[in-house]
Amino acid sequence: MDNVSLSIERGCALGLVGESGCGKSLLARSALGLLPRRLFKVSGSVRLGQSELIGMPRRQLRKVLGSRAAMIFQEPAAAMDPVYPAGDAAYEVLRRHGGLGRVDSRRRVAELFAQVGIDDPLKRAAQIPSRLSGGMRQRALIASTLAADVELLVADEPTTALDVTIQAQILALLNRLRRDRGTSLLLITHDLGVVAATCQRVAVMYAGRIVEHGAVGEIFSRPAHPYTRLLLKALHATQQRDIQRLEGIPGNVPDPSDYPTGCRFHPRCPERFAVCDSQVPQQLPIPGRNGWAACHLYDSSLRGKS
């Protein structure tokens, strides 16, 4: 992963999209210091408000993650301790960071469970996670982020494992969180439909690099990068259930140990030309749009070279 630069304003949602294996989750985990430091070397700068997270001592970073930033995952069960009550994560946050006593913390957990739409919240908060449905478990995790009133919520494929109705409810909940509390949201997904329903801006990732960045409306109506165009074509074919046009993108995402030279998308790109396999494309502004694409097609000095 290299040369990645993203920012999210307070109360806004940025969608990070791309096929599985593009490096989206790795990027988010490295930004939040969730990767083992002895195995992954992360350099650069990650700022949460005025705090620099890169190089922050572990203990301090854990405190920041408990109180100011949080991450929720595709399979909430994996992030919950199977033998502790479902309300335990929110309870611990309130005890450690909220300064509440035991009774008040329990009462507050029930309030938070009710806020995220869990029926019978007192009973549910006391049950172990396996007694709750997948949607309820995801809501319980979101309730623990409400307990901390985090500034940044990173949601990694939070609805992929849920059925369509529950998915819509969870996305509506994330939207409410952003609007009502000013929480900034980084939403990682391979589903552009989810981005359209939730985000204001989108970054498209391919093979460890951001290849296009811009406002959701602009990218959806006029995608600039060939990879984004193919992702959107696949989305439209799926939405229209058009089997004839449901081709997918030929080839596979390359292995990080064997990234192609030049533009990493060139082996799969239907629009590649002479320089694409040797020169790394720079981030270039797209005329008439508030965004950029990393593609030689927008470099006027290279256009026409075939």
Give the footprint of ligand SF4 on this chain (CB under 6 A): 225-226, 263, 265-266, 269, 271-272, 276, 281, 295-297
Least distance between ligand SF4 and beta carbon 162 (Å): 33
Least distance between ligand SF4 and beta carbon 44 (Å): 24
| Closest CB to ligand SF4 among residues 72, 269 | 269
Least distance between ligand SF4 and beta carbon 252 (Å): 16
Distance CA(74)–CA(189), nearest Å, equals 10
Q: Rounded to 5, what percent of the chain is helix, strand, coil?
A: 40, 15, 45
Q: 144: exposed, middle or buried (C-beta count within 10 Å: 0-12, 13-18, 19+)?
A: buried
Q: Widest CA span of the chain, in angstroms?
A: 71
| Closest CB to ligand SF4 among residues 88, 212 | 212
Least distance between ligand SF4 and beta carbon 232 (Å): 14
* Closest by Cα among 75, 11, 19 to 208: 19
| Closest CB to ligand SF4 among residues 218, 277 | 277
| Closest CB to ligand SF4 among residues 3, 240 | 3
- Long-range interactions of 95-104: CB distance < 8 A, separation 24+: 96/66, 97/66, 97/67, 97/148, 98/147, 98/148
Least distance between ligand SF4 and beta carbon 266 (Å): 4
| Closest CB to ligand SF4 among residues 236, 305 | 305
Least distance between ligand SF4 and beta carbon 74 (Å): 28
CA distances from 257 to 1, 27, 201, 208, 265 (A): 11, 16, 30, 11, 15
| Closest CB to ligand SF4 among residues 178, 225 | 225
